[in-house]
Amino acid sequence: MSATSLHLFNSLTRKLEAFHPVHAGEARVYSCGPTVYNYPHIGNMRAYVFADLLGRTLSFKGYRLTHVINITDVGHLTDDADEGEDKMEKMAAERAQSIWDIAKHYTQAYWADVKALNIRQPAEWSVATDYIDEMLEFAISIAEKHCYELDSGLYFDVSTVKDYGRLARAVTEEGEGRIDTVEGKRNAADFAIWRKTPPGEKRQMEWDSPWGKGAPGWHLECSVMSGKLLGFPFDIHTGGIDHREIHHPNEIAQNQAFCGCGSLSEAGNSGARIWMHNNFLVERSGKMSKSAGEFLRLQLLIDKGYHPLAYRMMCLQAHYRSELEFSWEGLEAALTRLKRLVMAVERLRERLDEIPAEPAGGWTLEWAHGEVGGALLPFLARFDEAMADDLNSPIALTVLEELLSIKKMDPAHKYQLLAVMDAVLGLGLTTLCRADLRLRPGSAAITEAQIEDALVRRKQARAEKDFATSDALRDELAAKGVEVMDGDPLGWEWKLG
């Protein structure tokens, strides 16, 4: 079996491209992180499940991964196109709290979701306000050639770089420009890299600069942190598909200015070689929002009794470039699929005398290739083929399911192969057991111990053919929202509705 070369869809060229790392054997990835003014919704978390899947695939393929995710605690305006207020300032004013406290609270909440979704820790969480000096240095170095000053700030002149907007060309070609309301801008798409504090005002977060007191622009932050921590050009820059239209074209323009680079036809002139974007998670009613309707946070799913990894499963069932519609039925189905996998692994574990330990270099393709021989190799090859094809997790999942369903294979090798696949998918299959997947909804009026106790008594009544008592116990449980599931194929005896 030979490994399939990794191909990824580059939004910059709108093509699948073979991955050739900038530094041999390494992969350096930057992902735009959350703006910590509120809880992330599960759509936001799809972006990080995707970035994690990418990172895990790169590790599986043997690359030494350096992943950076930033935390935006300043500079992201209520409108991506430089309009409106700073999201952090706005929330702080509404709550009468300090921005620092707000940032701390929502960063912690984001990290809790990261952990619950089995998203691996990146090498670095870079916090925007830790890089103000570097941002000023960067801005000063490009100011003379590429920027101009207005009363409201220092603006980047997009006509000073070649191919501005290439990444967003679908939009530009259709002529859907942005509404420009800042007076004095030379081009509608020009954007602030430094926003001055208006005279007579005091912002909670402001710093001195050659252009007066103010705060950095959001786009500047990502250019600076990615360049500083990964070095230009680095391999892959990720974000949600909305970033393809404004945020990333602006980052690219700054990177070109900073590097003194020419046209974007040169791989890497944009700062990163490959720009990847996940599509949106949507609700039936349209785009997911933090303000309209039910705010879909991961905690809401948990409160309703869904294990968070059911949401990860839901994400993996769709290709990252496809739009994914959220529904509670869909989540239920994803949970059932996860339960089936966990049950199959539990059974496999029972057949093992000893659980195979993770190899020193991790569960990689190369290790698996050397260790797991014969009849199991085609499964590894097909799994590799799926992931190497622009992270086709829906296909990879079916290969994993097939692997678990085949009989008469050496259980230790089967387990090792499963562990390798799960190191990529991150569903926690080597550690989860069925009991972990049973979450009690926050609204439940009965504890697990009470349910188990009632079920033991019911079993005893049935053994004694006392069906009246058995039925009464069943009805009692039903009244408390517990459905008894006799003969469930997955071996679950009850479920909370």
How far is the C-alpha of 477 from the C-alpha of 455, rounded, in Å? 9
Beta carbon of residue 194, minimum distance to ligand AMP (angstroms, whole number)? 20
Q: What b/e readout covers 315-341, taking b as 16+ CB neighbours within 10 angstroms? A: bbbbbbeeebebeeebbeebbebbbeb
- Pick the binder of ligand AMP from 10, 12, 28, 34 (CB under 6 A): 34
Cis before 308? omega within 30: no
Does the protein bind ligand AMP through residue 168 (CB under 6 A)? no
Token output for 205: 């977060």
Strand bridging mode 281-283 / 272-278: unpaired
- With CB under 5 to 8 Å by kind, the binding choice for 154 among ligand AMP, Zn ion, none is none
Calpha distance 12→249 (Å, rounded): 10
Name which of residues 255 to 314 contact ligand AMP (CB under 6 A): 278, 280-281, 288
Kindly state the smallest distance separating residue 232's Cβ from ligand AMP, in Å. 21
Based on CB atoms, which residue is closest to ligand AMP, 324 or 477?
Answer: 324
Q: How many of the other CB atoms lie within 10 Å of CB of 112?
A: 14
Segment lying near ligand AMP (by CB under 6 A), choices 41-49, 181-189, 193-201, 292-300: 41-49
Return the range that interacts with Zn ion (CB under 5 A); candidates 17-25, 127-135, 218-226, 434-442. 218-226
Candidate ranges 32-40, 256-264, 292-300, 330-338; the one touching ligand AMP (CB under 6 A): 32-40
Contact 52, 426 (CB under 8 A): yes
> Alpha-carbon Rg of the chain, whole angstroms?
26
Number of H helices, E strands in the chain: 17, 18
219 binds, among Zn ion, ligand AMP, none (CB under 5 to 8 A by kind): none
Contact partner, 222, from ligand AMP, Zn ion, none, Cβ < 5-8 Å per class? Zn ion
User: Is residue 32 at the binding interface for Zn ion, with CB under 5 A as the rule?
Assistant: yes
**Which parts of 317-391 are beta strand (E)?**
324-326
Angle 164-167-173 from CA coordinates, rounded to 5°? 75
Q: Rounded CA gap, 314 and 46, in Å? A: 10
Q: Count residues contacting Zn ion (CB under 5 A)? A: 2
Q: Is 222 in the site for Zn ion (CB under 5 A)?
A: yes
Complex with ligand AMP: residue 35 or 255, whichever CB lies closer? 35
- Binding segment for ligand AMP (CB under 6 A), chosen from 8-16, 28-36, 134-142, 305-313, is 28-36
Segment 415-474, which members bind ligand AMP (CB under 6 A)? none
Q: Of all residues in this chain, which one has the CB nearest to ligand AMP in the complex?
A: 240
Is the separation of the CB atoms in 468 and 452 below 8 Å?
Answer: no
In the complex, what is the shortest distance from the CB of residue 30 to ligand AMP, in angstroms, rounded to a whole number? Answer: 11
Q: How far is the CB of 222 from Zn ion (least distance, A)?
A: 3
For the chain, the distance separating the N- and C-terminal CA atoms, rounded to the nearest angstrom, is 47
For ligand AMP, the binding residues (CB under 6 A) are 32, 34-35, 43-44, 46-47, 239-240, 242-243, 278, 280-281, 288
